[in-house]
Structure 1
């Protein structure tokens, strides 16, 4: 079943065309990679799906809902969560609080109930904390008692990237957008990341990933869409993409194929 449909999407910034009449679909229950050389339009596409800015033309449909005009917080409620190229955590909050923050779009207790610690708010907070610990365990971060005091800024760089993914998962997404999640990770951390992405898929969450590390992409992606100069030039399985002449040309230059 198609979860995300991008239809003839174009994005122009003044005289620059960052994405040019691009179309692709993401099937539910897959890890779908979006790759291409620098400047291919990958992050621009992510920003349009996430709601950071609108397309100049074209349509983006998520789970049967047109996303045009939907702000990022409404897209999050619909089931879209994302991470960013630059880590964006609440550094002065501890690890479990960062994950709990991701559940905000699913909580029901209002401001008044939370401020005065009414029973419904207290119960909801306890459940949110329990869920946060389960997610930390799922992504492989230690969920022991000391997590309560461990500030996000004290984690290693790789652990901070995993924490950002954990926070996104706390919103119960149908679609998880990962924007260069392996950036700055060492080889061992990248192997663990690829395994975690596969576990996320097994959990029933569809993943759309932008990443420059081709070894990681080939290890965990089901389908790969390749962009170059804002246009789709190829799509297929990892085996099909690694030997595709247009992809080789885009990365290595004309004559390389």
Structure 2
């Protein structure tokens, strides 16, 4: 399960009308909204882990005899994997019929939620719903920049002298599925992972601090003197 915030701008004369407009704006993206049945294609990237999982879990029991050239078994595995009958087109593409909303991005939402009062009004008070002109955007940017600077200063202190460790996918891919707990132990035992993720920041420390790839080369930050100075982040190769 993941949680994220979405900013919705609508035209309305009062709060009640605005809440209704927000609901109308988000409805097309509901995962509960069914559409006319259509065929969904299954990519090769989905087939490979499904077959590997079935082989790890059931090959020894004799229920599945996985052979990549055995179409019947592949279709049976994928049918169980997606929970719907899977067929193969003439061009070899695996497909299944679904009425799931292809634009679906959420299964539940609420105004505010865990980000309650995230907007700072010009009166200094927090709010979830207000007119755009009443939001103190400059003040919010200033506070966010100050908080980011404090976080980054703390980060550089706790990881000083440590190399950026391997990412979770890199560690996970070295282990078979049944040894996933061993992979987790190795990943969380890394000194950089422990330091970068300990209590200060939520989520994947590699993604948070290094982006989608591991940090390589130079990462620049703005100094308090107004200039830009490089920070060297070492990475294993």
TM-score range, shorter chain: under 0.3
Higher strand share: 1
TM-score by length of 1: 0.21
TM-score by length of 2: 0.22
Structure showing greater relative contact order (alpha-carbon pairs closer than 8 Å, 6 or more residues apart): 1
